[in-house]
Structure formats: C-alpha cells, structure tokens
A and B are shown apart, each in its own frame.
Chain A
Amino acid sequence: MASFNEWILTLTVFIPLVAAIVVLFLPRSNERLIKLWSIAVSLVPLALTIYMMVNYYTGHIPNGGGMQYEVKLSWIPQLNSFYHLGADGLSVPLLFLTALLSTLGLYYSSFTIKKRVKEFFFLFLLLEMGMMGVFVALDFVLFYVFWEIGLVPMYFLIGIWGQAKDRPRYAAIKFFIYTLVGSVAMLLAILAVYFATNTFDIMEAVQRQPFAGNLTIASLVFWGFMLAFMIKVPSFPFHTWLPDAHTAAPTAGSVILAGVLLKLGAYGIIRIVLPMLPQAFSHWAIPIVILGVIGIVYGAFVCIAQTDLKRLIAYSSVSHMGYVMLGLGAAAAGISKMAEPGVTDSMAMAINGATLQMFNHGLITGGLFFLVGVIYERAHTRELSMFGGLSAKTPAYYGIFMVVAFASLGLPGLAGFWAEFFTFRGAFDIVTVWAAIGVIGIVATAGYILYRIIQSLFLGEYDPHKVDHWTDMKDWQEKHEPGDMVSFEKLVMWPLVILIIILGVFPTPLVDFFNQAAESIINAL
C-alpha cells in the first residue's frame, strides 16, 4: 500500500485532467455520454479523498500533523524545482470539499447546461484539476502553475455560460485581470524567496525562514504573496470582482467559485505566508485584522442593500471570508505574545476558526448558490421583490433553504457557528477590541439573511401576478405555479445539508484535522 499512498495525490489531481482530455475526443453530439463520463470519473477523486480522510482518522496514517502521502520527484532540475506533492490535516478536508462540490456541480450542470456541453464539461474538469493541485502542491513552481490553471477555465465558464444581462464578458475579464495582477505579485515574491533560499520547495523554504531579521524585504515579499491571496479570498478592498463574477457565472461555476476558489487564497496564507514569514505577518497582523473586520461588517451591510439574490449571496461571501482574515490575522498577532499563558491555544483556535470557516463556507455558500439556481431556473429572475409566500408553495425548497441560510447566519447547531465561535474565541484573546467590533457582523448577518432573503422569498403572500411563468423542472414546460424542488436538485442538496447538520452537531472530527495542522504550524513558529 505504500506505493499506492505515494500515488494517491497524483491520481486525485490528474484523473480530472485525463477525464477532461478524454472529453475532447468524445463525439460532440453525444451529450449524454459526455455528461455521464464526466460525472462518473469525478467520483474517483471523491472516493480517493474520502479514503484519505478515513485513513487519517482511523490512524493508518500517523497523526500529529505533518505531510502525508508525500511524493517528491525531480521535475525541472535546472530550476531546482521538484514535483513535490503532500497533504496534511489542512489539505485533506479541502480536497474532499473540492471533489464533493465538483461532482455535485457536474451533476447539477448535466441537467441545466444546454449549450456547448462538451466545452463546459471539459473546462469544469480542468478547473477541478487546478484547484486540487493547489491544495497539494509543495513546490512553488508547481503551486503557481496550478494556481494559474484554475484561472483560465473559470474565465471561460463565466464568459461563455453567463446570462447576457449580467454582463458576463465584463465580469470574466475583470475576474481574470484582477487575479492576474495578484498572480504577478506572487510570482515576484516567489522569485524573491527563490533567490534568498535557492529552492522552490515550500517546506524547505519554510524551514530556512528567509528574510528573518530583514523586516523591509520580508514585508515586501509578504505583501507580494498577500496581494495575490487577498484578491483571491477576496478581502476588502479587493473584493469587487466577486459580485460581478458570481452574478454572471452559471450556477455550478458560482458554486465552485465560492466553494473552492476563494479558499485557495486563504489556503496560501496558511500554507506559505504564516509559517514562512511569521515576523512580517506578525508585524502586519493588525492591518490584516482590521481589513478582516471591515470585510465582516461592511460586507454584511452591503448585503442588506442588495435586491438581487445572487449578488446578495456573493457579497455575503465577502463578509464570511472576513472571518477567515480575522482569524488568520489574530493568529499572526499572537506570534509576538506566544510566551503569555493561553496565547498559543488562542492562536490555534483562531486558525481553526479560519479553516473551519473555509470548509463550512464552501458547504454553505456552495449550497446557497445551488439554491439560487433552483429558483432562477424556474422564475428566470433573481429579483427578491418578485417573490413571496414560497414557504407554503414549495415546502421542500423552504426547508432546505432554511437549513442552509441559518447555517450561513451562524446558528448554533449548524456548521457555520463553530467557525465563528473559534475565530472569535481566538481573536478575543489576542485582538480584543477588533474582535468586539466584528461582533456587529453577527447582528448584521441576521439582518440580511432574515430581512432580505427569507422574508422576501418565503414569507408574505404569494402573488401570482409577479412571476407568471414558472418553468416546471420535471418537463421544462411553462406553468403558472411554482413547482417544488425535483429529485436531481434534492440529490445535489442532500449531501450538503447532511454535512452542515452533522458538522454543526458534532464538529470534532473536522476540528481534529484542522487542529493538527494548526498545532504543527504553531509549534514550528
């Protein structure tokens, strides 16, 4: 099995690529085959990630953090760059999230994507490969390559399959350029690290602690990385590409964008910036915390003013990812106080909160975007003022939406709460005042979830004159009454809903993963 364990990450990452290439050779006319093939093959990485999680948890893989399933082969010897993959307690759940959302996205798209099916499934699989790669790459060149690979398919997904009225071309180009600006900054920073350490290996670079003692250079490199990562997160004030991209993207594209792509930035901060540049991060921690808090509160208030459901949820991502920035910033702010009692635990909790938020936000906001798709496919509008009274009309939709929306609100008993709890627990100990300001976000979040979303969609009277043509998802005919969720939509939502509830009631297994990773990062500081 040892050899299998060495191959497992490679398989997980490249099976989607192989599948994507095969899609190119499938006949364009046979859409059914393309869909079936894509979905079926995407189950393999999903199974592999579950296998890895179970392995981790049953103790077949030794605990205590550290990289597992490592593989290191010579790749570009001239550059001293290796094909180096590995996964720890942080990567594995995120791999699972990626595989899960990809499979669900492919399955959902197989019902809703009508044009240029072949290209869509090709790009989607390519996207999955890029995202998976980022979460396991332990070599800067490899990391950068995967990072960029994710960019191109998403550009096309938004540009081609977006709704014309949402300005997809503008949104796509904005997304592309904005991210590219960050990429260039990161490339600079990577080169700087290379010149300082003479290696592209992330783990080695972390060990060498480049620029330790030279705060000016370290800060430059720090901001190089942070610009790329904060644009991707996205952190205030680099977030404005997000609402446009989300609004324009097709449903599955939005799900992946919110569920996984935003996590790449935060992942980079935890994997690279925090362990490699602790001094610089510690020095700049408070500005990061402030940007996080602004994101939380400001994002939530902007949400309250939105009238388009999808745009609202896009902005809610800005607010929710603010918790990630707050947690990571707080952990960094703790670096200088590690000698004080309890601070290392608070740092671990802040990081755990951030990582939990990454995972749970993927489930929750991914789910919310699916649910936006559900209503949009029927009503062909997302204007909240066009709805009302769906609570009784579409009870299954109501029930599922309530679970996911209240998870997003941070209701205890559902997954979102634990992320908020641990983020604030860590932050309150280290950056008390900023954390206290962030609490305003808790109230404002309740404001937009209830006042905007639930009241507009589900409560009040159902007015048949507002939307008079509802597409029936069973036969795609126009009806005068909204139909409830149909089986393929339920099938997409059930895994997410079940995970949201289980991780809300019993978060321990997931926290175990993240805590191991957080502990090993903190112990190395």
Chain B
Amino acid sequence: MDNLIYLIPLFPLLAFALITLFANKSNKLSGLIAIAAIAGSWVISWIIFFQAWTDHHFYEHPIELPLISIPTGASVLELGFRVDSLTAVMLFMVPFVCLMIFIYSWGYMGVGKKAAGSAASHTGSDTAQTPTQPAGHGGHDEHGGHGGGRGWPAGPENVDPLASRFFAYISLFACGMLGLVLADNLLLLFVFWEIMGLCSYLLISFWFARKYDDPNRITPKKAGFKAFITTRIGDAILFSGMMLLYAGAAVLTDGQAGLTFSALFQPEVLAGLQAVAVPVFGTLATLIAILIFWGAIGKSAQFPLHVWLPDAMEGPTPVSALIHAATMVSAGVYLIIRMYPVMLAGSAPALTFIGFIGAFTALFAGIIAVAQTDIKRVLAYSTISQLGFMFAALGVGAYVAAVFHLITHAFFKALLFLGSGSVIHGMEHGEHHGHAHNQHEVAGFDPNDMRYMGGLRKKMPATFIAFLVGGLALAGFPFVTAGFWSKDEILADAWHSILHGDWNQGLALLVFIFLVAAAFLTAFYTWRQISMTFLGKPRTESAAHASESSKAMVVPLLILAVFAVLLGYVGVHEDFPLLGSLLGGNPFHHFVGGLAETLEIHAETIPFSWVPVLFSVVIALGGLGLGWLIYTRAGKGWQVYSQLDPVDAAMQRLRLGGVYNAMRRKFYFDELYNIIFVRFSLWLSRAAAWFDRTVVDGVVNGVGRFGAWLAHISSRFDSRFIDGIVNGLGSLANKAGGALRLVQTGQGQTYLLVALLTVLLLLALFAVQVAGIGVVG
C-alpha cells in the first residue's frame, strides 16, 4: 500500500513525458493526459492522507521509502520519500488544488474550442511547417480579443495553439511540488524545488511573444526571467546553507548523517551545530538557519526578494493560481516548517529574523495592495502579505498555526485566482463583443484592470459567489470562513507569546501589531476589489457585455469555495465556546502538533483567550466596513473608469499624494533593483569581457608578437651574418636558404618560440638534475 506513494509524483512526471514526446500534436489528448495523471495522484494522496488522519498515533511512525543512494567516499548519501503528518496535510491540499486548477485550465486554454484564428483546421500546434501570421501584426492583440499567434493569448473564444505545451509544463510543476513534500531529505527537496523554479519560468513566460503598447509594462518574457533569477538568488543562498548543514552534520557523525530530516533533527546533531562558533552570526546553527530562510524569502517572495511575484501575473491565470496557492510559494513556507528544528537551533537571532521579515512583509505588501488596480496584482500582493503572516507565525513559534494557514490559504487563494481568471475571460469576451460592434470606447483597455469593470455580479453570478466567498475568507470574515480561523490562531499564538514568552516578548508584540494592521488592510483591499469588480454599475461596454465562463472553469471555483468555508472548522480551538467541543476539539492541532512534539518543537495547545479573537473580529469587520464605506456606499467609489481612487483623492487632499503614488509604484523597488542589480551586473559583465579581450588576451598576443619580433630579428641576423658565410659554401646555401625561408613564413614564430623554450628547458633541466641528484642520492 505504502508503495503507492511512489506513484504520486510519478504520474504527473509521466504525463509530462507522454505529452512532450507523443501527444504534442493534440491539445485535447494532452489535456486529458494531464488531468488523468493529477487525478490519479489525488486519489492516492487522499487514500494516504485519510489513513494517516484516522490513525491517532500516525506521528509516531511516519512512512519511509528508499529512493536512491549515491556513494560519497566511504559513506553513502541516501535519498528517499517520507510521509509524516506534515506531508500528509500537504498531500491533502496540493494534488486536490492542482486537480481543480488542471480542470479549470481545460476551460481557460479553450481546449475543445476551435483553433486560433480563422484557419480552424490545424489544432495541432507543433507542426513547424504550419505558417503563422507574423506576430507583429498589431498592438491591439494584447486585448486577446483576436486569435493570437503562438506565444500570445488566444482569447476566450479560441484554443491556445500551444495548449499542449501548457499541460506538459503544469504537469511537471505538479510533479515538482508533490516530490518536494514527499522528500525525506533536504537535497531531494531542493531538487524538486528547482524543478518548480524551471516550471515557473516556462509558465510565466508562456506567452513568450506577447508585447504591450506601453513599453514600460513588463512582458511575459521578461517576467519569467525576473522570477527565475530572483528566486535563484535565494536558491543559491539556500544551497550554501544546505552545504554547510551537510558538511557540519557529517563532521558531527563522522560522515554518517547525510541530509535526511530524521538524521539531522537528532538533538545531538542540532546541539553540535550550536556548539560551533562562527563570526558575526554566533553559531553555525544560526548561520545555517538564516541561509536556509533566504531560500524561502526568494521562493515565497518575501521582502526584499518579493519583486518577482507580482510580475509573475504575466503568465496564464491558472499558472498564477498554481504558483500562488498550491505550489511554488507554499514551498518556501513548507521548507521552513520542515526545517523548523534547525530554525529553533538557530535560536533567537534566526527566529527574530524570520519573524521580523514575515511581519514586515505582511504589512508592506498589504499597503501596496491597497493602491493596485490590476485584479491579479492585488491578489499577488495579498499572497505576499499572507505568506508574511505564516513566517511571522513561525518566528514566534506558532508552528501548527503556520501549517494551518498555509493549507487554508492555498484553497481560498486558488479560488480567488481562478475567479480572477474567470473575470478576465469574461471581460475579454465583452471586449470581443464590443469589437464586433465597433465600439472602441476605451484607449488602452486592459481586461485585468478593475477600473474597467464594475457590476459583473449580474453577468457572472457563479464567479461572483465564488469570488465573494474567497474574498471573505482572505479578509478573515468571522466564524464562517476558513481564513478567519487560521489567521486568528496566528494572532492567538502571538498574543500568548507577548504574555508568556521568555526571550521573544518584544518580537511577539511587534508581530502582533504588524499582523493586526496587515489583517485590517487585507479586509479593506479585499472589499475594494470585490466592490470594484462585481458591485456597482458596469463602467465600460466590455464589462456590460461580459459573460459567464464555461463549466470547466466555474465548477472548480464552486468546489474550492466549499473548502474555503468548511476547512477552517478542523482547526478551531478546543476551548472555543460551543464550537470547540462540537467540532471534535481541534483535530488539526492534534494531527500536526503530535509530529511537532516528536521533533521537540513546543506546540502544546495554548489556553484559549478572548483578546485575539476580539481583535480578529473587529479588524476583519472594520476593514470590510471601511471598504464598503469608501467604495460601495451609494454615490461613493468608482463611477467612471477614469476617475481617481477615493483613497488617492483623500490622500492628495492631505498632501500625501506622493505617498499614494509610491504605493502604486510599489515603493519603487523595481526601479531601485534595476539600477543596483540589473544594470550593475550588465556593466560588470561588459567590464569582464573587455578585461578578457584586452588584458588577459592582450598579454597572450603580446607574447606572441614578441616572439614574432624575435623571429624577425633573428632572420635578419641569419640573412646578413650567417647567410654571408653560408653563401660561400656553394650548394649548401640553397638548402639553408630554404630552411630559413620556413622561419619567415607565418609559422616562424612557432618554431622560434619552441626553440626559445627548449633553451629554457635545458637550463631548468640542468638545475633540476643537480637538485634531483641531491634528493635521490
């Protein structure tokens, strides 16, 4: 039975291989293979999960499966899979959310519809001979209203010509995440981690030929590169941490401990890492913990490596959902949860760093989100902010709460992204309709821009309901949504640490304040988003003519909406009035907390307190209410698409327009990094190339020219002095002249150099010989 676990990542991997090798001519077949594979993974995962969930002592006997072993000198590096409580809850979430996204992709990529453009005959995308229209055929293609070429969005009416490739990529992506949660060691985790990095690159730049009229807007091609290189910076630092950890642990156990979690988390290994002093950081354990956390900063888009995630929105929307919910960014949080014993060994400095980065990012991203108008970018910043919640939780020791929020967030964020994709398709449809009637009212129309929306609840009721549920869960609407319970648990843990923590009271206070403020902003911008998108009246023709998306897209939304509500009830505090006992006394905490106890992580249930609950309720309702007051109340909010944001207007009145502008421009981090890193790197590379050409190679050529010069001199010496003697020797002269002419041909320098070196050689040889006799004799 346990051997079925091997199949969980293998199915999507096989799907990837099958699609790329054999099914690349058929989008439909590719889609079917991808969905079937992930469905298979999902079924097995849930069997494994429910077995574990019903086994009350599962945390004591995790499943371990060997995979490969590599010889490393006298020792061996063992790599394998492992399912414990933490992996089990990830197996509950990842394949299911992926399955929903895959099914949605079927609808989103238009598989089953007619082929792109008017020539509907060739659904096969990958025949190189098929002529395509030159892609430069019009800037208006960015609307997606027309059938785009390859590497452009095909629009809502058409099948994307590269849909087959899309299904291959997302299958590999799913394989990466599933392998990552199953890995029983840091190295294998890193392997799958990087595979996801590759997939995110491929998928973000999926519409690789797309260009915008606005030259400042980032294209998918650039966004993909930005995502890969930014996360790779984090990965390189993580890699260094992993190397130090591996080397450090091996020294402690005389080469026996590789990177398997069970071997690393032995108390004596962790204590040994703490005993090694390193400059600046104090102990080796602290250094390793901080280096590993940098990997999470990159992958989970925390400040200061957060810049890639909003631009990752350039990928097709199902990809955004994959990256933001089920896979990529969750991987960063998962890494820190998985490596938590090492983080604890890193003690106060490491945990403070994690907690501070998380809390700061939560608030920082929340502030930026308030000023965004792109429906997906708002969600992107909310993701960064929510991930900050999780890291802040880990910083103050709220292990179980972080896991809980990771799971609930995955469901409602997938829901929100897929909902936004549905909205975008609806808007594109409306735009298409508008084109058909020659109503070209808005210059620079963008189907992602919420200012052009409004009133979509009537046109897209199912999407509206689902999005509303997801939004309320994100905002933490009290008592009914999953987001409330998980966010509340983080605040409760932070509150507990303020009162009862030992070293970390100050950190807990800071985390609590930052998170409360961030949670308030979350509720506020979420209502702003719902209001701008769905409420009020349509502000453009496109919004007025929008239409509901296909069933393949709407059904996954509704299923995810159910989870966004119900999932919270598995983690309600057992002493919560009424609900606590009714819901079985917090089974989630027992399931995950049990594992934590075996790792000597303190995860005992904290006493119930009303204070954080009150905070949670008040800020959620307050934020939503303020959003309603500003954006929804009759006569307020958006009336026409070109109008100023009410918050912007208010801030301008307070002479704070510059601040709002900074928020809208994401505090200028893109511009800053562009100068510091991008331009500097390019300058450095040009300088290095120049140095190589002129200095390093210049020396080589200089030596060569010197050789040629010597050859010239010696040939003149030959012809005037030696030749003069030789000439007198009759017939020999001709032969000698012939030989000397060789010297003067292009290769003279060769031989001369050789001659020169031979002399040097003989001299050195003599010296060595003398010395050598001394040695041997």
Asked if chains A and B come from one complex, the reply is: yes
- In the complex, residue of chain A having the shortest beta-carbon distance to the beta carbon of B207: A459
Measured between alpha carbons, how far is A184 from B24 in the docked complex, in Å?
Answer: 56
Q: Is residue B20 within 8 Å, beta carbon to beta carbon, of the partner chain? A: yes
Q: Is residue B356 within 8 Å, beta carbon to beta carbon, of the partner chain? A: no
Measured between alpha carbons, how far is A196 from B768 in the docked complex, in Å?
Answer: 9
Q: Which residues of A contact B201 (CB under 8 A)?
A: 450
Interface of A is mostly: helix
A34 to chain B, nearest CB (A): 28
Q: Is residue A370 within 8 Å, beta carbon to beta carbon, of the partner chain? A: no
Closest 6 CB pairs of A and B: A348-B73, A345-B73, A392-B150, A304-B685, A305-B689, A412-B191
The count of chain A contact residues (Cβ–Cβ below 8 Å) is 100
Can you list 29 A-B pairs, Cβ within 8 angstroms, ordered by A? A174-B704, A177-B707, A180-B757, A184-B757, A191-B765, A237-B696, A240-B700, A301-B681, A346-B73, A346-B250, A349-B72, A352-B73, A391-B208, A392-B209, A393-B128, A412-B193, A413-B191, A413-B194, A422-B72, A425-B247, A439-B237, A439-B240, A450-B201, A451-B225, A455-B225, A481-B131, A507-B70, A508-B70, A515-B73
B172 to chain A, nearest CB (A): 10
Residues 692-733 (chain B) with a chain A CB within 8 angstroms: 692, 696-697, 700, 704, 707
Contact A188 B750 (CB under 8 A): no
Contact A412 B697 (CB under 8 A): no
Are A342 and B198 also in contact (CB < 8 A) when A184-B761, A188-B768, A440-B236 are?
no
The count of chain B contact residues (Cβ–Cβ below 8 Å) is 88
Contact of A352 among B72, B228, B232 (CB under 8 A): B72
Q: Is residue A395 within 8 Å, beta carbon to beta carbon, of the partner chain? A: yes
- In the complex, residue of chain A having the shortest beta-carbon distance to the beta carbon of B150: A392
Contact B187 A421 (CB under 8 A): yes
Q: Which residues of A contact B24 (CB under 8 A)?
A: 395
Contact B151 A392 (CB under 8 A): yes
Residues 749-775 (chain B) with a chain A CB within 8 angstroms: 749-750, 753-754, 757-758, 761, 764-765, 768-769, 771-773, 775
Are A443 and B232 also in contact (CB < 8 A) when A214-B775, A413-B194 are?
yes
Q: Which residues of B contact A447 (CB under 8 A)?
A: 229, 681, 685
B260 to chain A, nearest CB (A): 15
Contact A436 B240 (CB under 8 A): yes
B564 to chain A, nearest CB (A): 34
Q: Is residue A518 within 8 Å, beta carbon to beta carbon, of the partner chain? A: yes
Give me 11 other A-B pairs in contact (C-beta within 8 A), A342-B250, A389-B208, A450-B228 excluded.
A184-B758, A187-B761, A304-B685, A305-B682, A348-B73, A412-B195, A428-B246, A432-B244, A459-B208, A518-B73, A519-B74
Contact A240 B195 (CB under 8 A): no
Contact A192 B70 (CB under 8 A): no
Contact A392 B132 (CB under 8 A): yes
Contact A460 B208 (CB under 8 A): yes
Q: Is residue B377 within 8 Å, beta carbon to beta carbon, of the partner chain? A: no
Are A424 and B243 also in contact (CB < 8 A) when A169-B746, A178-B700, A393-B128 are?
yes
Q: Is residue A463 within 8 Å, beta carbon to beta carbon, of the partner chain? A: yes
Q: Is residue B215 within 8 Å, beta carbon to beta carbon, of the partner chain? A: no
Are A511 and B700 also in contact (CB < 8 A) when A411-B195, A428-B247 are?
no
Q: Is residue A344 within 8 Å, beta carbon to beta carbon, of the partner chain? A: yes
Q: Which residues of B contact A460 (CB under 8 A)?
A: 208-209, 221
Q: Is residue A464 within 8 Å, beta carbon to beta carbon, of the partner chain? A: yes
Chain B interfacial positions (CB closer than 8 Å to A): 20, 24, 68-75, 125-126, 128-129, 131-132, 134-136, 149-151, 161-162, 187, 190-195, 198, 201, 205, 208-209, 211, 221, 224-225, 228-229, 232-233, 235-237, 239-240, 243-244, 246-247, 250-251, 254-255, 681-682, 684-686, 688-689, 692, 696-697, 700, 704, 707, 746-747, 749-750, 753-754, 757-758, 761, 764-765, 768-769, 771-773, 775-776
Are A446 and B247 also in contact (CB < 8 A) when A173-B750, A188-B765 are?
no
Measured between alpha carbons, how far is A236 from B688 in the docked complex, in Å?
Answer: 13
A481 to chain B, nearest CB (A): 7
Contact B761 A443 (CB under 8 A): no
Measured between alpha carbons, how far is A425 from B688 in the docked complex, in Å?
Answer: 28
A358 to chain B, nearest CB (A): 17
Measured between alpha carbons, how far is A38 from B721 in the docked complex, in Å?
Answer: 51
A216 to chain B, nearest CB (A): 8
Contact A192 B232 (CB under 8 A): no
Contact of B72 among A301, A305, A345 (CB under 8 A): A345
Measured between alpha carbons, how far is A482 from B697 in the docked complex, in Å?
Answer: 36
Are A506 and B68 also in contact (CB < 8 A) when A195-B772, A349-B73 are?
yes
- In the complex, residue of chain A having the shortest beta-carbon distance to the beta carbon of B775: A214
- In the complex, residue of chain A having the shortest beta-carbon distance to the beta carbon of B762: A188
Q: Is residue A57 within 8 Å, beta carbon to beta carbon, of the partner chain? A: no
Contact B243 A435 (CB under 8 A): yes
Contact A443 B72 (CB under 8 A): no
Measured between alpha carbons, how far is A109 from B754 in the docked complex, in Å?
Answer: 33
Contact A176 B750 (CB under 8 A): yes
Of B20, B70, B700, the most chain A CB neighbours within 10 A belong to B70
Q: Which residues of A contact B681 (CB under 8 A)?
A: 301, 304, 444, 447
